[in-house]
Amino acid sequence: MSMDIIVMGPPGAGKGTQAHAIADARTLPHVATGDLFRDAVHRETPLGQEARVYMERGELVPDAVTVAIVLERLEQSDAARGVVLDGFPRTFAQAQALDTALAARARRVQHAVYLNVPREAILRRVSGRWLCDTCQAAYHTLYRPPSVAGRCDACGGVLAQRIDDRRETAERRLDVYLEQTAPVIDYYRQRGVLREVNGDQPIADVQREVLAVVAALR
């Protein structure tokens, strides 16, 4: 039996942090569209050149492009048992495309974990965020400092700040989230798969609740 889990919430809610923990606990691939796009930007591929324009503005990359990279990722053999999706779907069209793709594999979204975090906490989180250039692990100056300044605890990679975490861009991302992604939460709520978790607690406490939610899945 496969296991398909979505992690949802505003930018900076802790999706990457918690999706990583779920993926570890359930031995599933962690598929983060933001990470896939950042990697493409870094490698300066045609996809990266296209995505960069939207990312720098704090806007969504068009659905056709985003759906295509997720479908390609789902084709890979490690995704056959399921995936933990982080940052996808962010629009209705993406949610519908995901349903279709999973249905074609006799699968469906089993849990949509929604990390509920208020606006002020979000802005504090993104302003202190540092990401590993190599493995994309997330650190925070106050809430999750690395053991060695500027270096990733997991792989020793160099930590860098995201240009879209600048205050103005982060605020734009939050507005885009409220306009386009928040309605998708209701879509999963109506289907009875939404699992809301209070994301406004220390990382370990959020993790305990999130892992308890997904522990019920077989």
The residues annotated with a catalytic role in the active site are: 15, 90, 129, 162, 173
Taking CB under 6 A as the rule, does residue 144 contact ligand ADP?
A: yes
26 and 137 Cβ atoms separated by less than 8 Å: no
Q: Give least dist CB 154 to ligand AMP, A.
A: 18
Q: Interface residues for ligand ADP in 4-63 (CB under 6 A)?
A: 9, 11-17
Q: Give least dist CB 211 to ligand ADP, A.
A: 14
Whichever of 107 and 199 has its CB closer to ligand ADP, that residue is 199
Query: Out of ligand AMP, ligand ADP, none, which partner does residue 107 contact, by CB within 5 to 8 A per kind?
Result: none
Kindly indicate which of the ranges 42-50, 56-64, 103-111, 146-154 contains the residues binding ligand AMP, using the contact rule CB under 6 A: 56-64
Q: Interface residues for ligand AMP in 149-178 (CB under 6 A)?
A: 164, 173
- Among residues 8, 84, 97, 138, which is the contact residue for ligand ADP, using CB under 6 A? 138
- Among residues 18, 94, 110, 207, which is the contact residue for ligand AMP, using CB under 6 A? 94
Whichever of 12 and 89 has its CB closer to ligand ADP, that residue is 12
Q: Give least dist CB 12 to ligand ADP, A.
A: 4
DSSP letters of the chain? --EEEEEE-STTSSHHHHHHHHHHHHT--EEEHHHHHHHHHHHT-HHHHHHHHHHHHT-PPPHHHHHHHHHHHHTSGGGTTEEEEES---SHHHHHHHHHHHHTTT----EEEEEE--HHHHHHHHHTEEEETTT--EEETTTB--SSTTB-TTT-PBEE--GGGSHHHHHHHHHHIIIIIHHHHHHHHHTT-EEEEE-SS-HHHHHHHHHHHHHT--
> What residues contact 26, with CB distance under 8 A and at least 6 apart?
3, 5, 82, 84, 214, 217
Residues that bind ligand AMP (CB under 6 A): 11, 33-34, 37, 54-55, 58-61, 66, 87-88, 90, 94, 164, 173
- Tell me which residues touch ligand ADP (CB under 6 A): 9, 11-17, 125, 128-129, 138-140, 143-144, 199, 201-203, 206
